[in-house]
């Protein structure tokens, strides 16, 4: 498990952890942990995503290279990181994607390009706040 994002609110930090399999982030397998900032006590844990989705996956070899996937990005996106990730869909399926984190002007984004066919699957806006990082 690796930390992905966190948010501090009312003396509590909520940290999202995602499972990693062979350096691929498995976003369907999220765990959220709530910790008190004053004494470090664990106040809550949400494991629904992990319990419902976690399994050893037989990941396909990407048909689209990282360089090919980059051709589908906004030309103004200043890429800061790139990796493979499995993302959930609204249809209860999963898609292997190239995940690109980057900036356009003052805005940060996560862009997901399908590693099988090169289609853009999702774009999330990253909001960095004094209390943590949110995605929308």
Q: Is the pTM of this model over 0.85?
A: yes
Identify the residue whose tokens are 């006590």. Answer: 41
CATH 3.10.450 segments of the chain: 61-136
- Any idea which architecture 61-136 has in CATH? Roll (3.10)
Q: What does each C-alpha distance from 113 to 30, 43, 44, 60, 65 come to in angstroms? A: 20, 36, 33, 15, 10
Q: For residue range 44-101, what is the model confidence (pLDDT) as tens digits?
A: 999 999 999 999 999 999 999 999 999 999 999 999 999 999 999 988 899 999 999 9
């Amino acid at each position: 498990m690796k930390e992905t994002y966190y948010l501090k609110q009312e003396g509590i930090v909520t940290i999202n952890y995602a499972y990693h399999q062979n350096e691929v982030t498995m976003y369907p397998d999220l765990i959220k942990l709530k910790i008190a900032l004053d004494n470090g006590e664990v106040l809550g844990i949400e494991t629904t995503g992990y319990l419902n989705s976690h399994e050893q996956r037989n990941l396909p070899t990407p048909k689209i290279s990282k360089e090919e996937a980059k051709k589908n990005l906004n030309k103004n996106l200043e890429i800061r990181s790139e990796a493979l990730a499995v993302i959930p869909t609204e249809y209860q399926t999963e898609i292997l994607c190239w995940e690109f984190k980057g900036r356009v002007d003052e805005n940060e984004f996560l862009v997901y390009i399908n590693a099988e066919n090169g289609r853009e699957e999702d774009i999330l806006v990253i909001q960095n706040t004094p209390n943590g990082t949110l995605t929308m």
